[in-house]
Structure 1
Amino acid sequence: MKLASILPLCTALCLAVPAGAQTAPTRDPAKIQAGTYALDPDHTQVVFAVDHLGYSIYRGSFSDVTGTLELDPKNPAASTLKVSIPVSSVATTSPKLTDELKGAEWLDAAKHPTMSFVSTKVTMDGPDKATVTGDFTLHGVTKPVSLQVTLVGAVPNAITKKFSVGFEAKGRIKRSDFGVKTYVPMIGDEVDLTIAGAFDR
């Protein structure tokens, strides 16, 4: 769908919501609903960044993410997260590079079509921050990875009529640990991940 077609639709949706109907978002865990949340792929972004020849930072992204969150605001350590990302959804500003990243020398999407993260431990670092450790699988290799997670906000969504919650997570992996060694060290081994995760109950 072209941008010119999307903008009127977004405007219409916004105008259809009565003024004042949207409740103010909260970051207070006591006001967040417990339960099972489904990841919203339309509002979830997975962005990676890697050093490029020592003179620039190159970024790309993954989309079509799916997953579930079992959220217990009263006992966050009991919460669990499962996320699956299709490797073929990788995207960069270069179509040629995007195709190369899907190939056997890099992520090998044909042989390893998904990457995943399954939490194993949640440690609270503050009222709205946590370290979430889990098993990260990439390129057929599974290793523990820790994500620094911050609660962005939670709100009864006036458009979807669902209770929505969002987090930002940041982490770092060494791609060579997962067997992706092409052009190391010219292209950085360390890959920074930033995930904007949106969930609906």
Structure 2
Amino acid sequence: MRDSRLLPRFRALRALRTGLLIAFALSMSACTALSVVTHSVSPDEASVPAGRYQLDPHHWNVSFDVDHFKYSRFVMRFDKTTAQLNWNAAGMEQSTVTADIDATSLDTNVPILDKMVKGPDMLDVERFPTIHFASTAFKRTADDKGELTGDLTIHGTTRPVTLTVTFKGHAPNPLTKQQTLGFSADGHFSRAQFGLSTWYPAVGNDVHVAIQAEFVAVAPDAASQ
């Protein structure tokens, strides 16, 4: 008898606890949604904490495009890239960046063409699996942009290239709370200068590079390793 009288009370308490948990989850979800909707970034480079940053593995794009029989620009993207940014408190002029593109991850959306471009007649990814870039200088051309010069290594050959870089802004990410900053970059290089003249003139010599990148702060203990 005693147990049967307590059972409704127990069920009521359990329902109340469940209701409170649901209400808490909904309130947190609403706060998160509000923080995302109202999120804004600072265009001021001075707001970026100095330190090491790495490419956000989920928010980036690197693509090359070339003339294809003069009909169009054929786009090739890469599916695997890593990059490190050493951000100086003085801003882009004193900061440096390095990037490694996995040449084996090239994706033209045409499997047979992937094989041709990655083969020995072009990138030869078995011998040269990595495309490397290391910045060497930066010249500001506007408040939020400038010309980034660096050494690009493709197919075992290193040449200087210049990219027009735009600082997109900085803020703690509303979801991860990590310090995050974004950039876009655009440039051109001659593939012939890297020993990649195969299929010319059916395939153009000028390679256009387009980059979108978000960098996130590296934890201090990770940065010291």
| TM-score, with length taken from structure 2 | 0.79
Alpha-carbon RMSD: 1.7
Is 2:32–2:175's contact at 8 Å kept on the other side of the alignment? no
| Residues in 1 aligned to 2:130 and 2:94: alpha-carbon distance in whole angstroms | 26
Q: Tell me the equivalent position of 1:192.
A: 208
Q: Tell me the equivalent position of 1:82.
A: 98
Is 1:90–1:102's contact at 8 Å kept on the other side of the alignment? yes
| Residues in 1 aligned to 2:71 and 2:91: alpha-carbon distance in whole angstroms | 45
Q: Tell me the equivalent position of 2:62.
A: 46
5+ long unaligned stretches in structure 2: 1-28, 218-225
Please state how far the C-alpha of 1:16 moved relative to its aligned partner.
Answer: 7.3
Is 2:65–2:76's contact at 8 Å kept on the other side of the alignment? yes
Runs (4+) of structure 1 exceeding 6 A deviation are: none
Amino acid at match of 2:75: R
Q: Tell me the equivalent position of 1:68.
A: 84
Q: Tell me the equivalent position of 1:18.
A: 32
| Residues in 1 aligned to 2:62 and 2:89: alpha-carbon distance in whole angstroms | 24
Question: 155-164 or 132-141: which moved more?
Answer: 155-164
Is 2:46–2:91's contact at 8 Å kept on the other side of the alignment? no
Secondary structure of residue in 2 paired with 1:104: coil
Q: 1:26 to 1:176 in 2, by over 3 A?
A: same
1:1-201 map, 5 Å: 15=29, 18-22=32-36, 23-201=39-217
Amino acid at match of 2:134: V
| Residues in 2 aligned to 1:63 and 1:114: alpha-carbon distance in whole angstroms | 13
Please state how far the C-alpha of 1:73 moved relative to its aligned partner.
Answer: 4.5
Q: 1:94 to 1:17 in 2, by over 3 A?
A: farther
Identity in percent = 37
| Residues in 2 aligned to 1:29 and 1:77: alpha-carbon distance in whole angstroms | 11
5+ long unaligned stretches in structure 1: 1-14
Secondary structure of residue in 2 paired with 1:43: strand
Please state how far the C-alpha of 1:21 moved relative to its aligned partner.
Answer: 2.5
| Residues in 2 aligned to 1:97 and 1:75: alpha-carbon distance in whole angstroms | 41
| Residues in 2 aligned to 1:60 and 1:73: alpha-carbon distance in whole angstroms | 35
Q: 1:182 to 1:142 in 2, by over 3 A?
A: same
Aligned length: 188
Q: 1:96 to 1:77 in 2, by over 3 A?
A: same
Amino acid at match of 1:106: M
| Residues in 2 aligned to 1:17 and 1:136: alpha-carbon distance in whole angstroms | 44
| Residues in 2 aligned to 1:155 and 1:25: alpha-carbon distance in whole angstroms | 5
Q: Which has the greater radius of gyration?
A: 2
Please state how far the C-alpha of 1:173 moved relative to its aligned partner.
Answer: 0.7
| Residues in 1 aligned to 2:145 and 2:131: alpha-carbon distance in whole angstroms | 25
| Residues in 2 aligned to 1:16 and 1:63: alpha-carbon distance in whole angstroms | 34
Is 1:134–1:145's contact at 8 Å kept on the other side of the alignment? yes
Question: 106-115 or 72-81: which moved more?
Answer: 72-81
| Residues in 1 aligned to 2:203 and 2:118: alpha-carbon distance in whole angstroms | 16
